[in-house]
Amino acid sequence: MTLSAFDIAILGAGPVGRVLALMLARVAPDPSRIALLQGAAAAPAAVPATDPRVLAMNHGSRVLLESLHAWPARSADILNIHVSQRGRLGRSVIRNTDFDVPQLGCVVAYSALHARLEECVAASGVTLLSGPPAVVDGQDADGVRISQGETALSCRIAVQSDGAGGGDVRRDYGQHALLTTAHASLPRRGWAWERFTAEGPLALLPHPQTPDAYSVVWCSAPERAAELAALDNLAFSQALSAAFGDRLGRLTCQAPRHVFPLALNARRGLVQGRVAVIGNAAQTLHPVAGQGLNLGLRDAARLAQSLGGWLAQPNATPAQALRDFARARQVDRLITASVTDLMPRIFATGLAPVEHACGLALLGLDLATPLRAPLARHLLQGFRV
Ligand SMILES: Cc1cc2nc3c(=O)[nH]c(=O)nc-3n(C[C@H](O)[C@H](O)[C@H](O)COP(=O)(O)OP(=O)(O)OC[C@H]3O[C@@H](n4cnc5c(N)ncnc54)[C@H](O)[C@@H]3O)c2cc1C
């Protein structure tokens, strides 16, 4: 079956693809000429409605999602972020009051965000096409050919948002992330914790759905992650308390545990002819500091902004608009990917002088608000040009 031509086809209906569709629908003369292609997930663990990830969203992402009426009903505020390293001196606390903002960020469940975005897309007028994974078959000067199983369609611009990453820059961190939920005997509302251990970073985020519980993201070598995932609840709770320390009293975990492999997979360029790439399709990052989706949403917002004028005259070439998008995203992508690439490695060298230097750096950050400001500003909004 061949479908009629669309102005824009978005391949991948994760949060980044959906946000792009919503933003384009607001400026497109006819939103039905934007197609959002929802591919069946390859693995059961990747089904969005049951995805176990929780996401720390910064202030900029929240403002964007609220403007689209896509903010989920339940979220947990992050007012303070405590950064430390296990077994060494030095820690830093970033507070919302230092920057005069209501919160540094919020935590939402991937599944809840997905459900809300699904409702918004259904009401947006965008054409939603469900089927097998979609593929770009080729392009020429006038448009792009796409297939989704037996269905073929054409469009003037294709946007890949399939979360698949790219092969230009790769790093295998030798780490997997274990995700679960823990209850604390001495909970502290509004606090998030990022603790660097020799195994990898361990984050505890306020849980979006259960007060006084924490979402745990614990990065370690793949074998260690598998071992931790297989422990009984008591042994796992003890291992978690030993790694985290006693700042929240006793940690107890009875929730399921999920393991995600971690790697940096990034593309250098975001545009090839009439095909643009955004979100995790352009860069999958280490989850330290919770930057992946925040960065992907900024990709989507900038692409929608660049294509706004072109959508009024879609017969014109989009080359300039796509160049503008790619240029505008360079610095933010580079800084965010570099920071999230460096952080998990520098704290896990196993070299005492390096770890002491990291401790001193954290102490320095803690003593000097002006030093903390750039880090916090990036956490709040990311780098914008
Ligand atoms: C453990 C962990 C913790 C994280 N924590 C945070 C955090 O705190 N804050 C943060 O900002 N980010 C975080 N991230 C990163 C965040 O999850 C991703 O950046 C975000 O999900 C990317 O969204 P996306 O829409 O680009 O891709 P995805 O969420 O991967 O969605 C892509 C969609 O496209 C579909 N698809 C795939 N192939 C095709 C195809 N060929 N055709 C059509 N559809 C297709 C997939 O099934 C999927 O539904 C974390 C990641 C991990 C692994």
pLDDT band at 66 (very low <50, low <70, confident <90, very high): very high
- Calculate how far, in angstroms, residue 163's C-alpha sits from the geometric centre of ligand 1: 5
For residue 305, which amino acid is it?
A: Q
pLDDT the model gives residue 196:
86
pLDDT the model gives residue 288:
85
* 294 Cβ inside 6 Å of ligand 1: yes
Q: Span 122-135, mean pLDDT?
A: 96
pLDDT the model gives residue 352:
58
- Calculate how far, in angstroms, residue 165's C-alpha sits from the geometric centre of ligand 1: 10
For residue 314, pLDDT over 90 is answered with yes
- Calculate how far, in angstroms, residue 8's C-alpha sits from the geometric centre of ligand 1: 21
As a whole-number percent, the residues of the chain with pLDDT over 70 amount to: 85
For strands 283-284 and 169-184, give the pairing.
unpaired
* 96 Cβ inside 6 Å of ligand 1: no
* 341 Cβ inside 6 Å of ligand 1: no
The Cα–Cα gap between 321 and 319 comes to 6
Q: Span 69-85, mean pLDDT?
A: 92
- Note the pTM of the prediction, 2 decimals: 0.92
- Calculate how far, in angstroms, residue 42's C-alpha sits from the geometric centre of ligand 1: 13
| Ligand 1 atom 37 nearest Cα | 162
- Calculate how far, in angstroms, residue 142's C-alpha sits from the geometric centre of ligand 1: 30
The Cα–Cα gap between 272 and 323 comes to 10
For the stretch 267-306, pLDDT in tens is 999 999 999 999 999 999 989 888 999 999 999 999 999 9
How many Cα atoms sit within 13 Å of 29 on the Cβ side?
Answer: 8
The Cα–Cα gap between 297 and 60 comes to 9
- Calculate how far, in angstroms, residue 281's C-alpha sits from the geometric centre of ligand 1: 8
The Cα–Cα gap between 286 and 292 comes to 8
Distance from the first to the final alpha carbon of the chain = 43
* 39 Cβ inside 6 Å of ligand 1: yes
Copy the structure tokens of residue 83.
């950064």
For the stretch 3-32, pLDDT in tens is 669 999 999 999 999 999 999 999 999 999
| Ligand 1 atom 30 nearest Cα | 163
* 14 Cβ inside 6 Å of ligand 1: yes
For residue 219, pLDDT over 80 is answered with yes
The answer to whether 159 and 20 have CB atoms below 8 angstroms apart is: yes
* 134 Cβ inside 6 Å of ligand 1: yes
* 41 Cβ inside 6 Å of ligand 1: yes
The Cα–Cα gap between 217 and 357 comes to 25
The answer to whether 57 and 40 have CB atoms below 8 angstroms apart is: no
Phi, psi of 318 (to 5 degrees): -90, 10
- Calculate how far, in angstroms, residue 141's C-alpha sits from the geometric centre of ligand 1: 31
For residue 383, pLDDT over 50 is answered with no
Better pLDDT: 140 or 372: 140
| Ligand 1 atom 29 nearest Cα | 14
The Cα–Cα gap between 128 and 153 comes to 13
Q: Which atom of ligand 1 is nearest to the CA of 41?
A: 47
Instruction: Say which residues have a Cβ less than 8 Å from residue 198's Cβ, sequence separation at least 6.
Output: 86, 87, 348, 350
Q: Name the least confident of 12-21, 245-254, 366-375.
A: 366-375
| Ligand 1 atom 50 nearest Cα | 287
pLDDT the model gives residue 370:
59
For residue 38, pLDDT over 70 is answered with yes
For residue 204, pLDDT over 60 is answered with yes
* Helix ranges (DSSP H) in the chain: 15-27, 59-67, 110-122, 222-230, 233-244, 292-312, 319-346, 352-367, 369-381
* 382 Cβ inside 6 Å of ligand 1: no
pLDDT band at 102 (very low <50, low <70, confident <90, very high): confident
| Ligand 1 atom 21 nearest Cα | 293
β-pair partners for 237: none
The answer to whether 201 and 288 have CB atoms below 8 angstroms apart is: yes
* 208 Cβ inside 6 Å of ligand 1: no
Listing DSSP states for 79-102 in one string gives -EEEEEETTSS-EEEEEGGGGT-S
pLDDT the model gives residue 366:
53
Report helix, strand or coil for 70: coil
Helix-helix angle 292-312:15-27, to 10 degrees: 30
Query: What's the mean per-residue pLDDT of the chain?
Result: 89
For the stretch 337-355, pLDDT in tens is 888 888 766 656 555 555 5
pLDDT the model gives residue 100:
81
